[in-house]
Amino acid sequence: MRAVVTGGAGFIGSHLVDRLVGDGHAVVVIDSLVRGSTANLSGALDSGRCELIEYDITDPRVRELMASSSPDVVYHLAAQIDVRSSVADPVHDARVNVVGAVAVLDAACRAGVGQFVLASSVAIYGVTPTLPVTESAPTEPLSPYAASKLAGEIYLNQAARLHGMPGTVLCFGNVYGPRQDANGEAGVVAIFADALLRGRSTRVFGDGGNVRDYVYVTDVVDAFVMAGSRPGDGNRFNIGTGVGTSDLALHTAVAEAVGAQQVPEFVPARPGDLRAMTLDATAAVQRLGWSPRTGLDDGLARTVAWARRRVALEGRV
């Protein structure tokens, strides 16, 4: 099988590329490296089955590249992922997440791609009265990022109707694991692990009671592979564990995995932060055959082990 992975040099994308290459597939990665890195792809590039094309997804050459690669599946992950950046610069966010998604979709339609899998986010749901949230819940984007991710879904649905493009949307909770950027705004596991390993202070917002659904990156890769191997009909599947973990409980769990005694500093709640979000993945279980395989303790142990190696390599501990 031939696959195109946009954003394949990033956190989730590079794990997906590793899996596809490991399964013997040929992969073309399209990534501007604005956040991702070639280091994330070192194993895949060494395999000889992965090629990295350093294009912005809005680059007109993406269309020719898609035609010449003639992929069976396109996994679209490239995105501006920072909620606060999207508030500060909604035009840039829309350029990447809306115009970029449309450009990749258009190129895929013209190339007659067999399956298109789009990475979306739980942010599209906003405040929901019932948790865990199901796919039939109304969407209520509360940030430009949420709006732009939802727009990508709408364009995918439109392409399915207009061009018969088979597509699937995967809607993730809070994904964590090795290679997540500790310097970003998202990725609280990476942020806590990095700070605790370096003996730096950590912060939680408000009373530490905000609840999120943490899903391990290789479980997310399972979902991509399952979605990519079946004809999609434009449907969205929630990908989460259904288990809620508060910020404070997460801090305690990461500190335990690190072996640190530290307690976090409590800082004022951020306006606009959701109080709680968990995902009902029943549809993914029933229709994709997906289920989360990695418990939080196991996933945190693996993530902290990776972060420890990285910090040690930097020679700071």
Ligand X SMILES: NC(=O)c1ccc[n+]([C@@H]2O[C@H](COP(=O)([O-])OP(=O)(O)OC[C@H]3O[C@@H](n4cnc5c(N)ncnc54)[C@H](O)[C@@H]3O)[C@@H](O)[C@H]2O)c1
SS3 content of the chain, % helix, strand, coil (to 5): 45, 15, 40
Indicate the residue among 111 and 213 with the shorter CB distance to ligand X. 213
**Is residue 197 close enough to count as binding ligand X by CB under 6 A?**
no
CB 173 within 8 A of CB 241: yes
**Is residue 9 close enough to count as binding ligand X by CB under 6 A?**
yes
**Is residue 50 close enough to count as binding ligand X by CB under 6 A?**
no
Catalytic residue among 55, 75, 125, 145: 145
**Is residue 114 close enough to count as binding ligand X by CB under 6 A?**
no
Task: Please pick, from the candidates 4, 5, 7, 93, the single residue that binds ligand X as defined by CB under 6 A.
Answer: 7
> Based on the number of CB atoms within 10 Å of its own CB, is 27 exposed (0-12), middle (13-18) or buried (19 or more)?
buried
Indicate the residue among 55 and 266 with the shorter CB distance to ligand X. 55
**Is residue 175 close enough to count as binding ligand X by CB under 6 A?**
yes
Indicate the residue among 83 and 160 with the shorter CB distance to ligand X. 83
DSSP per-residue string spanning 63-121: HHHHHHH--SEEEE------HHHHHH-HHHHHIIIIIHHHHHHHHHHHTT-SEEEEEEE
Show contacts with ligand X in window 258-317 (CB under 6 A): none
Q: How many positions of this chain bind ligand X (CB under 6 A)?
A: 28
Indicate the residue among 34 and 317 with the shorter CB distance to ligand X. 34
**Is residue 100 close enough to count as binding ligand X by CB under 6 A?**
yes
Task: Please pick, from the candidates 3, 5, 11, 202, the single residue that binds ligand X as defined by CB under 6 A.
Answer: 11
Cα→Cα distances 304→8, 46, 201, 235, 248, Å: 22, 26, 17, 34, 17
Show contacts with ligand X in window 61-80 (CB under 6 A): 77-80
Smallest distance from ligand X to CB 222, Å: 15
Pairing verdict, β 214-216 and 115-121: unpaired
Give the three-class secondary structure for 127.
coil
Encoded one letter per residue, x for contact with ligand X by CB under 6 A and - for no contact, window 140-159 reads ---------x----------
Write out the E strands in the chain.
2-6, 26-30, 50-53, 73-76, 115-121, 167-172, 174-176, 203-205, 211-212, 214-216, 236-239, 245-246, 265-267
Smallest distance from ligand X to CB 76, Å: 7
Cα→Cα distances 2→68, 73, 115, 207, Å: 11, 7, 11, 48
**Is residue 241 close enough to count as binding ligand X by CB under 6 A?**
no
Indicate the residue among 144 and 262 with the shorter CB distance to ligand X. 144
**Is residue 56 close enough to count as binding ligand X by CB under 6 A?**
yes
Smallest distance from ligand X to CB 29, Å: 9
Pairing verdict, β 167-172 and 174-176: unpaired
Q: What tokens were used for 117?
A: 């899998």
Smallest distance from ligand X to CB 90, Å: 15
248 Cβ contact list (under 8 Å, min separation 6)? 204, 207, 208, 209, 264
Encoded one letter per residue, x for contact with ligand X by CB under 6 A and - for no contact, window 12-41 reads xx-----------------xxxxxx-----
Q: What tokens were used for 146?
A: 């949420």
Q: Is 145 a catalytic residue?
A: yes
Smallest distance from ligand X to CB 30, Å: 6
Positions in the binding site for ligand X (CB under 6 A): 7, 9-13, 31-36, 56-57, 77-81, 96, 100, 119, 121, 149, 172, 174-175, 186
- Positions marked active-site: 145
